[in-house]
Amino acid sequence: MQLLVLAGGFGTRLKSVVSSVPKPLAPVKGRPFLNFQMENWISQGITDFTFLLHYEAKKIIDFITNWQQVDDKRGINIRFIVEDKPLGTGGSVANAVKKLKIQSKFFVSNADTWLDSGFSLLSESPSPSIAVTKVNDISRYGSVILDEHNYVKSFAEKVQEKVPGIINAGISCLDPKIFLSWNGKICSLETDFLPRLAKDGNLFSVRLDVNFIDIGIPEDYDRFCKLVEKDKIPL
């Protein structure tokens, strides 16, 4: 299956520490974060990538193109879709489904969210499905409410209290027919498409107990850097 990589965001919250490059290219021990992502995704069997881009798209395209040439990644198929204007996460995916004429289920991942593993479990699960994970503080993310069969019942809004809970881990396995009704407007995968599936009882969840790091804020970006320095990131 192919992986659609959401990599078009502005990275506003990380600009205080990473301002010269887009968020996926944030430097980690002399290498862009996306370098670690690509190696990790490939190690999980992903060989078909489409990057959904907008902000500083050329820098990401240049990096990926050079990375593929230098490392001679034969058998790895990479495409880029550059949006003239931001479409939101839902619009980006729907646009890609339309442009690529995707006919079968596919993966979606945030470029800035690290997970040690998860794609094989998602591919074996009912489609559509999302990866979920437990964190000690859900205030940044909101939470996911599950039923006894691991189907998503609903998504709860962010809360101010720092309490543990289950959250959307940022990767999913989706069916293209979900996006057939897209009207070309800006929309969100997280607030428009996924809640609708959950409401209909059609969204499965796969629990992942692995390293989950969203480098979108300086604290978690620093945490990822420290894990790499300590050789705690498996590559």
Write out pLDDT tens, residues 156-214.
988 888 899 999 999 999 999 999 999 999 999 999 999 999 999 999 999 999 999 99
Kindly report the CA angle at 3 between 89 and 72, in degrees rounded to 5? 130
- Measuring CA to CA, which residue among 81, 70, 82 is closest to residue 38? 70
The helix (run of H) or strand (run of E) holding residue 121 is helix 119-124
User: What ranges do the domains of the chain cover?
Assistant: 3-229
pLDDT recorded at residue 235? 59
Q: Which pLDDT value is given to residue 115?
A: 94
Which whole-number Å values give the CA distances from 230 to 24, 39, 213, 219, 234, in the listed order?
A: 21, 18, 15, 17, 11
Q: What pLDDT is stored for residue 69 in this prediction?
A: 85
Query: CB 203: neighbour CB atoms within 10 A?
Result: 27
What residue ranges of the chain have pLDDT lower than 70?
Answer: 71-72, 234-235
What is the per-residue pLDDT for 234? 61
pLDDT at residue number 158: 82
Cβ distance 109 to 206 under 8 Å?
Answer: no
Collapsed DSSP state (helix, strand, coil) of residue 35:
helix
At the top level of CATH, the class of 3-229 is alpha beta
pTM above 0.85, yes or no: yes
Tell me how crowded residue 227 is: count the other CB atoms within 10 A of its CB. 15
Say what the pLDDT of residue 220 is: 92
Closest by alpha carbon to 119, among 190, 208, 214? 208
Pairing of strands 143-146, 152-156: antiparallel
C-alpha–C-alpha distance, residues 34 and 64, integer Å: 9
